[in-house]
Structure 1
Amino acid sequence: MPAPTDRPAATYQAHFHRRWNHLRDPHVRALAWLLDAPDLLDPEAPEWRGRIASTGTVDEVTGRWLAALDSDPSALHSWLDIKPFTRLGRYAENLMAFYLRHQGTLVAHGVQVRAGKNETIGEFDFLLRKGGALVHWEFATKLYLLEASGNGRHADYFVGPNLADTLGAKVRKIMDRQLSLSQHPAAKLHLPEPVAQAQALVKGWLFYHGKTPLPAIPAGVSSGHCRGFWCAQEELQWVAGEHFAVLPRLGWLAPAKVPIGQALGRRAVREMIAGHFQTATTPLLIALLAQGDGCMLEVDRGFVVPDDWHSRAERRVVQPG
Structure 2
Amino acid sequence: MREPVTELAGAGATTAEPLWRAATSARVRDLAWCTLAPPLLSAIPREFAALAEPGGAALASWPPGALAAWQRWLASADPDLLPPTIEELSALPGAVQALAPAARSLRLGRHAERLLHFALEHGEGIELVASNLPVRRHGPHGVQTLGELDFVWRDVARGGTGGAPQGQLVHWEMATKFYLLVEPEANVEAMAPDPCTRLQAFVGPNLVDRLGDKLSHILRRQLPLSRTTEAEALLGARVDRSEIYLLGWLFYRDGVMPAGLDALGLNPAHLRGWWSTLAQWAQRVEARSPGSPGSLDSPGSPGSLDSSGTSGTSGTSGTSGTSASASSVRWHRLPRARWLSPALVPEHETEPFETLHDALAARFAEPHRELAWRREAPVMVCEMEPAGASAPGWWRERSRGFVVPPGWEERARQRAVQPPRC
More displaced, 193-202 or 259-268? Answer: 259-268
Deviation for aligned residue 1:78: 9.1
Bigger CA radius of gyration: 2
Matched residue SS, 2:149? strand
More displaced, 197-206 or 53-62? Answer: 53-62
1:73 match: 80
Percentage of matched positions with identical amino acids: 34
More displaced, 284-293 or 213-222? Answer: 213-222
- Residue deviations 1:130-174 (CA, integer Å, cap 9, x gap): 121211111111111001335286211111111111111111111
CA contact (8 A) 1:43 1:53 kept: no
Which of 211, 230, 233 aligns to 1:186? It is: 230
Which of 75, 96, 100 aligns to 2:116? It is: 96
Deviation for aligned residue 1:253: 1.1
CA contact (8 A) 1:38 1:224 kept: yes
- Distance, in Å, in 1 between the alignment partners of 2:182 and 2:45 is 24
Name the CA shift for 1:106/1:226 in 2 (closer, same or farther; >3 Å).
Answer: same
- Residue deviations 1:7-50 (CA, integer Å, cap 9, x gap): xxxxxxxxx98233552221220111122211111148767576
TM-score, normalised via structure 2 length: 0.65
- Distance, in Å, in 1 between the alignment partners of 2:63 and 2:184 is 34
Q: Does 1:146 align with 2:181?
A: yes
Which of 250, 254, 262 aligns to 2:337? It is: 250
Where relative contact order (Cα < 8 A, 6+ residues apart) is larger, the structure is 1
Deviation for aligned residue 1:243: 0.9
CA contact (8 A) 1:244 1:264 kept: yes
What RMSD, in angstroms, separates the aligned Cα atoms of the two structures? Answer: 2.9
* 1:1-321 alignment, distance < 5 Å: 18-20=17-19, 22-43=22-43, 48=49, 51-55=58-62, 61-69=69-77, 71-77=78-84, 82-83=89-90, 86-103=106-123, 104-116=126-138, 119-130=144-155, 131=158, 132-149=167-184, 151=188, 154-213=198-257, 215-217=259-261, 218-240=263-285, 242-277=329-364, 278=366, 279=371, 280=374, 281-293=376-388, 294=392, 295-320=394-419
- Distance, in Å, in 2 between the alignment partners of 1:141 and 1:236 is 26
Instruction: List gaps (5 residues or longer) in structure 1.
Output: 1-15
Deviation for aligned residue 1:260: 2.4
- Distance, in Å, in 2 between the alignment partners of 1:80 and 1:266 is 25
Name the CA shift for 1:212/1:258 in 2 (closer, same or farther; >3 Å).
Answer: farther
Name the CA shift for 1:98/1:246 in 2 (closer, same or farther; >3 Å).
Answer: same
CA contact (8 A) 1:148 1:209 kept: no
- Residue deviations 1:91-145 (CA, integer Å, cap 9, x gap): 1111111111111431111111223566331110100101212111111111110
More displaced, 55-64 or 157-166? Answer: 55-64
Instruction: List gaps (5 residues or longer) in structure 2.
Output: 1-14, 50-54, 92-104, 159-166, 286-325
